[in-house]
Amino acid sequence: MNATPRPQGTAGDAAPVLPQCRTGRAFAHTTGATGSGNPHRSDGRPPQTPRGARHTGRHGGLGTSPPVPGPPTPSTGFPGFRAAIALPALCTALFALVAWQVAAHGPLRGLDERLGRAAVGTAPRALAELLADLGNTTVALPVLGAAIAVAAVRHRRWAPPLAAALAMAAVPALVVPLKTWIARPGPPAMTPGAHDGFFPSGHAATAAVAYGAAVLLLTRSRWWLGACALLNAAVGAGLVLRGYHWPLDVAGAWCLSVPLLCAAARFRVSCRSPGRPCP
């Protein structure tokens, strides 16, 4: 059957229509409007795209998914740095405590003198004499000098040997004034009234710094460090068993020597760190 064709208009015949403002969606993104909690959907439903799950960055701006961490902050709290600070501080505090007890005739000094009197003569005299002699400057200084020469030739750097030499030079600069200031009498085995000034022990400090610095210059092996600690313990035992020093004299010398060795070792480590020039 025949159908009457409907007239078709063209795009040019259509009347112009002005755009209308839809308040339901346009104002959904406005702060404070109903349903404006989500910037991507006005109906309050959770977003369906990953873009909606973005979190704000550290400064309030939109980050990526997942957020990119901020720039790394430099930190000096690594274990080596903490040990290099904590150990000298602890030994310095212990030395101050021991020196105070010795100078003030405290109870620790009384206990120390009783232990020292009981220890004298409990070991063979020749063995105690031999161990004590290892703290003499005529024995310890040549060992350190040889280590300084070997390290200078091997590494061709003057800074680590110089640090070891300065640490050794600091021993008499610290020990002699302390001996004069505290003026502690020696054990009964020493000649009575010969001289005062046995705290801290110069022999124990000389052995600790000389042998310790020599090991630090030549090797980083823990076995050699352990052997050096045993050697210094033997020197201290010889000084006490022979009656040359009280036990606290030796302990104070060790506490005084540790910061010097840590300073020399720290300078050597920083000198060898990558990216830092070393003389």
pLDDT band at residue 132 under the 50/70/90 scheme: very high
Domain membership of residue 210 (yes or no) is yes
How much is the average pLDDT of 131-153?
Answer: 93
Contact 199, 177 (CB under 8 A): no
- Domain count for the chain, please give it: 1
Whether 100 is covered by a domain: the verdict is no
Q: 192 is written with which tokens?
A: 């009575």
- Say whether 115 sits in a helix, a strand or coil: helix
**Higher per-residue pLDDT: 225 or 41:** 225
Query: What per-residue confidence (pLDDT) applies to 270?
Result: 42
- Angstrom CA distances, 45 to 23, 29, 52, 53, 214, stand at 18, 14, 11, 13, 74
Contacts of 226 (CB under 8 A, 6+ apart): none
Q: Are 162 and 148 in contact (CB under 8 A)?
A: no
State the alpha helices, DSSP H only, in the chain: 23-26, 79-103, 107-119, 125-133, 137-155, 159-182, 202-218, 222-241, 247-271
- Domain membership of residue 115 (yes or no) is no
- pLDDT tens for 49-103 read 555 555 555 554 454 455 555 544 444 444 555 666 888 999 999 999 999 999 9
- Beta carbons of 247 and 240 less than 8 angstroms apart: yes
At CA 113, angle to CA 109 and CA 117, rounded to 5? 175
Band (pLDDT 50/70/90 cuts) for residue 245 is: very high
Q: Which domain holds residue 182?
A: 125-270
Q: Is residue 156 part of a domain?
A: yes
Q: pLDDT tens-digit profile of 187-210?
A: 887 655 556 789 999 999 999 999
Give the 3-state secondary structure of 2-64.
CCCCCCCCCCCCCCCCCCCCCHHHHHHHCCCCCCCCCCCCCCCCCCCCHHHHCCECCCCCECC
Residue 89 lies in a domain: no
pLDDT at 197: 87
Decide if 93 contacts 172 (C-beta within 8 A). Answer: no
Query: In whole numbers, what is the pLDDT of the chain averaged over residues?
Result: 77
d(CA 247, CA 229): 17
Half-sphere exposure of 256 (CA within 13 A, CB side): 28
Asked if the structure places residue 240 within a domain, the reply is: yes
pLDDT at 170: 96
Q: Determine the distance from the C-alpha atom of residue 40 to the mean position of all C-alpha atoms in its chain, rounded to a whole number.
A: 52
Is 222 contained in some domain? yes
Q: Name which of 142-146, 249-253, 271-275 the model is least confident about.
A: 271-275
Pick the residue with more confidence: 84 or 108?
108
Is 228 within a domain?
A: yes
Confidence class for position 121, pLDDT limits 50, 70, 90? confident
